[in-house]
């Protein structure tokens, strides 16, 4: 019996959402941060989309955002020529790292002691967060603006992407190990530590490479230009979104398209699976994030599967309902965070 996908819509941003990232699973659940051209990155509860707080301080579009593994710190990259590090519990700004051009990407090491940044000045920078006054280490070699930079191989190596090149660097020697060249612009890159897999999107292609050797594993072609793709933690599925406003779900092993959904009202800029694989989040030109169930109809987060009574005479059509307490929960969260950085509570709706 087929069930209809009912995404949760997380509003609150006023411009396109261009990046998002999940934390790891913590004793308090997992969390989601979003980067937006409105310059106001937001933190949410990952499984429900409930707004927790907004990080205020950037003076330009925020292009990149990330959380450390235990969601105690956040980092953001912005068009105001800075990267900022935040206390993700209190919302306080911990440090501002000045750059010479627009910053596009930020990533913490696993121990949260170092921050990797990249941007329009074509340089990778590594900041020691325990010595914020010290100059960062710099790695040069890219020939165009850096779109994404990620730690890999237990922080021993770095992966970075500019317009048409993906490069692998050795952290200890600060030298390039290998590079991949593409005939069109690379739109996104995701690193999967379990199995050392690198997911790269360019044009309509979704390509999988070894993160250790950059050797190709497999690739799929989508019906439209793809801006972002994400691999399920169990490597069963992958999801992708792009210029046709649709989200596509594929079987990772066979490449078969399993489902496609249209919910956004603009191109999709970013998509990521949650750390438990139960949902995936998408961010769009339309200014919203949406949360989608991996297994439609499963009771999880705010989704509750309700089957009609057998003797009610209703059509046997499952539906997704939401607990009556959802609005009350949101109000509680708003009151708990009333002394947070931003007191306005964006809505989460089905």
Structure tokens at 321: 């309902």
State residue 308's pLDDT score.
65
Per-residue confidence in pLDDT tens, the chain, 350 aa: 568 899 999 999 999 999 999 999 999 999 999 999 999 999 999 999 999 999 999 999 999 999 999 999 999 999 999 999 999 999 999 999 999 999 999 999 999 999 999 999 999 999 999 998 899 999 999 999 999 999 999 999 999 999 999 999 999 999 999 999 999 999 999 999 999 999 999 999 999 999 999 999 999 999 999 999 999 999 999 999 999 999 999 999 999 999 999 999 999 999 999 999 999 999 999 999 999 999 998 999 999 887 765 444 443 333 444 444 444 443 443 444 444 444 344 444 44
State residue 316's pLDDT score.
35
The three state secondary structure string of the chain is CCCCCCCEEECCCCCCEEEEEECCCECCECEEEEEECCCCCEEEECCCCCEEEECCCCCCCEEEEEECCCCCEEEEEECCCEEEEEECCCCCEEEEEECCCCEEEEEECCCCCEEEEEECCCCEEEEECCCCCCCCEEECCCCCCCCEEEEECCCCEEEEECCCEEEEEECCCCEEEEEEECCCCEEEEEEECCCCEEEEEECCEEEEEECCCCCEEEEEECCCCEEEEEECCCCCEEEEEECCCEEEEEECCCCCEEEEEECCCCCEEEEEECCCCCEEEEEECCCCEEEEECCCCCCECCEEEECCCCCCCCCCCCEEECCCCHHHHHHHHHHHCCCCCCCCCCCEEC
State residue 342's pLDDT score.
47
What are the sequence ranges of the domains in the chain? 8-293
State residue 306's pLDDT score.
76
State residue 2's pLDDT score.
65
State residue 219's pLDDT score.
95
State residue 309's pLDDT score.
57
Distances in whole angstroms, Cα of residue 70 to Cα of each of 35, 108, 301, 320? 19, 11, 20, 31
State residue 72's pLDDT score.
97
CATH number for the 8-293 domain, one of 3.20.20.370, 2.40.160.40, 1.20.1250.20, 2.130.10.10? 2.130.10.10
Q: What is d(CA 153, CA 170) in angstroms, rounded to the nearest whole number?
A: 10
């Amino acid at each position: 019996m087929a069930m209809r996908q009912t995404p949760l819509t997380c509003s609150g941003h006023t411009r396109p959402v261009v990046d998002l990232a999940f934390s790891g699973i913590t004793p308090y659940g997992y969390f989601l941060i979003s980067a937006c051209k409105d310059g106001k990155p937001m933190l949410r509860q990952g499984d429900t989309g409930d707004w927790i707080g907004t990080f205020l301080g950037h003076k330009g579009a925020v292009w990149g955002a990330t959380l450390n593994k235990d969601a105690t710190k956040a980092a953001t990259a912005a068009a105001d020529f800075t990267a900022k590090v935040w206390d993700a519990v209190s919302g306080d700004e911990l440090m501002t790292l000045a750059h010479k051009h627009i910053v596009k990407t930020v990533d913490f090491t696993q121990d949260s002691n170092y921050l990797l940044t990249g941007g329009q000045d074509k340089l990778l920078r590594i900041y020691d967060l325990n010595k914020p006054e010290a100059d960062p280490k710099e790695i040069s070699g890219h020939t165009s603006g850096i779109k994404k930079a990620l730690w890999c191989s237990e922080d021993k190596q770095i992966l970075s992407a500019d317009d048409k090149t993906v490069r692998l660097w050795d952290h200890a020697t600060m030298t390039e190990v290998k590079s991949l060249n593409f005939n069109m612009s690379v739109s996104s890159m995701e690193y999967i530590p379990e199995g050392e897999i690198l997911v790269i999107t360019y044009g309509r292609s979704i390509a999988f490479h070894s993160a250790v050797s950059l050797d190709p594993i497999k690739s799929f072609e989508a019906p439209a230009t793809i801006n972002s793709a994400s691999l399920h933690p169990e490597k069963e599925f992958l999801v992708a979104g792009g210029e046709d406003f649709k989200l596509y779900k594929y079987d990772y092993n066979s490449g078969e398209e399993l489902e496609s959904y249209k919910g956004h009202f603009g191109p999709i800029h970013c998509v990521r699976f949650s750390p438990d694989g139960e949902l995936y989040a998408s961010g769009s030109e339309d200014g919203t994030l949406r949360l989608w169930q991996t297994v439609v109809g499963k009771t999880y987060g705010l989704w509750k599967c309700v089957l009609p009574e057998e003797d009610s005479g209703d059509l046997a059509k499952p539906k997704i309902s939401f607990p009556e307490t959802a609005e009350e929960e949101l109000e509680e969260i708003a009151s708990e965070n009333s002394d947070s950085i931003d007191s306005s509570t964006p809505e989460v709706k089905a």
